[in-house]
Chain A
Amino acid sequence: MADPVHQEVLELIPWYVNGTLAEREMDQVSGHVASCAACAEVVKQEVSMAQLVRAQPARLEELLVRRDQAFAQLQNSLPSSSARSSAPATRWYRPALAASVVAVAAISFFVGRASLEPTFELMTNNASHQGYVVQLIFHPQTSEQDIRNLLADGGVDLLGSPSPKGVYRIGLPPNVDARAYATRLKEHPAVRWAEVELR
């Protein structure tokens, strides 16, 4: 769409939807939308998107109940407090340390499995693949056998080790409809979630 007015309006639509445009811009957008079916449709889509985004993120409730405890931790680390918690620079090590322990366990899981290609890439999972990649998570109760059976199916390539949080990456053969494949995977009883990785 080469029309600069059209492009300008398209870019302003989110703030037309949230009602924060200046008066001049508001008039510009509403005037254009009244005569452009395509932009009117975009407005409808953005209203739906805004409603989706405003939904409460999962796990917010579990955070809110920790508010008082979190503030107490903050108070302990204020320079005026005599009981400091661990210095901020070391805080990031805890998840990284946990990740390394899980990564080692994950590598051990794959060593000696004849039907799966062993991989010893530690700490990263950026194995490349020419075609589409699907990320998936299994239900916690899924057996190792079920995982191997599913991953041995249909010529897919397991890319690297699962992440510390249990996310697997599988490379699809060429000419496979990636979105349809991910949808089918999500319907598998062992799979909690599957989605196509963005390139």
Chain B
Amino acid sequence: MPTDQELLNRIIARDEKALGVLYHSYFQRLSRFLLRMVGDPELTVEVINDVFLVVWDKAGDFRGDSSVSSWIIGIAYRKALKGLKKFRPWTSLDAVAGTLVAAGDDAGPSLELESSLARLSPEHRAVVELSYFFGYSYREIGEILKCPENTVKTRMFHARRTLHSILEV
């Protein structure tokens, strides 16, 4: 199985198959991250495809300062923020409204979490997801979000406080 860097090198050479391999390998991770960020499945797919258009165009600009995964997730984060600015939900509950209506009545705990996360700012949601699902260090998160490490820690601190007050965990 080629590494992400090897795939990027082939993408620079305009290898669409390599793009496909990278796309399929990242689709689940990005779906998960972006679903939490933008809340809407249609928007999630559009953002994923926008991310890989950037990967296709800018593979040659990747300098290896971070891992390929950090680079791709960083692009996804910025695309998600842009998307949310253009299509901001009316209320925090809008982000999970489709999920709430579609889910069964016994899906309580996961919906509590989804609606609680939706009440955080996108910046705070990203830190929570990158820490607890993706398992990044605060340094790596700073690289992904392009912010100082202390900002990462502060955002996480405030996000935790808000989530605990909502969830009473």
Binding site for B on A (CB under 8 A): 10-12, 14-15, 17-21, 45-46, 48-50, 52-60, 62-64, 66-67, 70-71, 73-75, 77-80, 88, 91-92, 95-96, 124-125, 135-137, 139-140, 163-167, 169, 192-193, 195, 197-198
Q: Indicate if the CB atoms of B44 and A63 lie closer than 8 Å.
A: yes
Which 5 A-B residue pairings sit nearest by Cβ, starting from the closest? A20-B137, A163-B90, A165-B97, A53-B132, A50-B132
Which listed residue, B50, B91, B135, B169, touches A18 by the CB 8 Å rule? B135
| Set of chain A residues within 8 Å of B135, measured between Cβ atoms | 18-20
Secondary structure of the B contact surface, majority rule:
helix
* In the bound complex, CA of A57 to CA of B156 (Å): 20
Please report B residues at the A interface, Cβ cutoff 8 Å. 14, 16, 20, 23-24, 27-28, 31-32, 35-36, 40-46, 48-50, 52-53, 56, 83, 86-87, 89-94, 96-103, 107, 109-111, 113-115, 117, 119, 128-129, 131-133, 135-138, 140, 153-154, 156-157, 160, 162-164, 166-167, 169
Asked if A56 meets B83 with Cβ closer than 8 Å, knowing A14-B160, A88-B50, A137-B97, the reply is no
Q: How many Å from the CB of B146 to the closest CB on chain A? A: 19
